[in-house]
Amino acid sequence: MDSKCYIGIDIGSISTKGVVIDSNNNIIASKYLWTEGSPINATKNVVSSLKEQLDNKNICKDVYGIGTTGSARNLIGTILNANLVKNEITAHAIGTLSRYPDTKTILEIGGQDSKLIIIRNGVVVDYAMNTLCAAGTGAFLSSQAKRLGIEIEQLGKIALSSKNPTKIAARCTVFAESDLVHKAQIGHSKEDIVAGICKAVVNNYLNNLAKGKSIEDKVIFQGGVSKNVGVVEAFKKALNKEVYVDKDSHLMGALGVAILSKNINKNGNKLNFDFNIKDIDFKTIGTECKGCPNNCEIVNIYKDGKLIDKMGGRCDKGNQITKIS
């Protein structure tokens, strides 16, 4: 058996996902945890958990590919010395296609963005991503759950128990929230309101992203919100179609980027990767480049006190690493 393995890390705004796959795209270890505003720490925890899982299964693997995706992909890509940094849309499509080659539509709702990916004959032909506004995403669900005093994990189950979902204006998160308060104050039950929120998320998604796009079978729903059965049911009703949710639906981005990192490493060189990343001290310091009135925010990344990268500048002026030596 060959001992090659590939790591995919998906660092989202809310949660961080990591997988280790073998050469046949099977997931041999995976981890999902909250980013909690610190992508570096979250990644460290994910990597050490992946290592633990591999150690427990007593498989010693050599890393041949590391891919990062998600909104912190560039930062983490630098830190992990990844051989591939890819946007989450491509990663999600590749991940899903590896399991469902006959997919035609991917619905994806994450913490702060939502995407609709249209696939025909195994190739992405169109996609839409929410612009300008985060209404109808996981962030909305979690803030509303908190307001209602419900654990986010329970939201879906509670929604299913409602027979008569409350109508909630879905266009804008701020308006939806005031509508929700209003509905609660005039006496709608909690279950109905929760079901209404799930419906609102779906309506918002379809109104924003699915305009002018044809949603065809087979429809796969993924991203963190796909774990919410209430939203899944609402999608089924709104689309009048079967909506599939994979058991690893939250890991598809990480899986996809791991597969891509495998494909890109054609000459098969082993990567120099240390699972004990937890012991390495990473520090980021934000500065403002004063080179011009743009005042770009530059992020300096230090590894054990040594500057390894700068990013965030619009031109090369701020991104250059001045050698102190």
Partner 1 sequence: MQNKKYKYRVSFPHIGNYYVPIYNWFSNILDKNTTKIIIPKKMSKQTLEFGSNNSPDFICLPFKYNVGNFIESLNQGANVLVQAGGGCKYGYYAELQEQILKDMGYDFKYITLVEKGKIKPFKIYKKFKELNPNLTFFKFIYRFCVAALIAYFLDKFEDYIRLNISYEEKIGKFEVIHKIFLLKLRNIKSISQLFKVKNKYMKKLKNIKLISKEDRNEKIKIGIIGELFTSMEQFSSNNIEKKLNKLGAATKRYTTVTYLLVKKPLEMKRLIKKSKKYIEYELGADGTTSVAHAIELADNGYDGIIHIKPFGCTPEENAIPILQKISKDKNIPIMYLTFDTQNSDTALDTRLEAFYDMLVMNKEKKKVDVLDNKEALDG
**Residue 91 to residue 69: CA distance in whole angstroms:** 7
Nearest to 242 by CA among 217, 215, 225: 217
CB of 289 to partner 1, least distance (A): 11
Pick from 211, 190, 60: which is nearest to 128 by CA?
211
264 lines the binding site for partner 1 (CB under 8 A): no
| Segment 105 to 124, residues that bind partner 1, using CB under 8 A | 121-124
What is the footprint of partner 1 within residues 154-213 (CB under 8 A)?
Answer: 211-212
Is there binding between residue 10 and partner 1 (CB under 8 A)?
Answer: no
Interface residue with partner 1, options 132, 163, 187, 306 (CB under 8 A): 132
Q: Say whether residue 87 binds partner 1 (CB under 8 A).
A: yes
Q: Determine the 3-state secondary structure of 243 from DSSP.
A: strand
Q: Is 221 in the site for partner 1 (CB under 8 A)?
A: no
CB-based contact 130:208 (threshold 8 Å): yes
* 91 versus 219: smaller Cβ distance to partner 1: 91
Does residue 131 interact with partner 1 by CB under 8 A? Answer: yes
C-beta of 131 vs 322, nearer to partner 1: 131
Is residue 290 part of the contact set for partner 1 (CB under 8 A)?
A: no
Q: How far apart are CA 115 and CA 23, in angstroms?
A: 28
Give the count of alpha carbons within 13 A of 107, CB side only: 35
Report, in Å, the least distance between residue 118 CB and partner 1.
9
Instruction: State the Cα–Cα distance between residues 71 and 110, nearest whole angstrom.
Output: 11
Find the angle CA(321)-CA(324)-CA(325) to the nearest 5 degrees: 115
Q: Compute the CA torsion angle 231, 236, 237, 241 (nearest 10 deg).
A: 160
The whole-angstrom separation of Cα 35 and Cα 122 is: 32
Q: Choose, by CB under 8 A, the member of 37, 149, 187, 293 that binds partner 1.
A: 293
What is the nearest approach in angstroms of partner 1 to the Cβ of residue 212?
3
Q: Residues in contact with partner 1, total (CB under 8 A)?
A: 24
CA–CA gap between residue 12 and residue 57 (Å, rounded)? 28
Q: Which is nearer to partner 1, 85 or 195 (CB)?
A: 85
Does 292 participate in binding partner 1 (rule CB under 8 A)? yes
Residues that bind partner 1 (CB under 8 A): 71, 86-90, 121-127, 129, 131-132, 211-212, 214, 292-295, 314
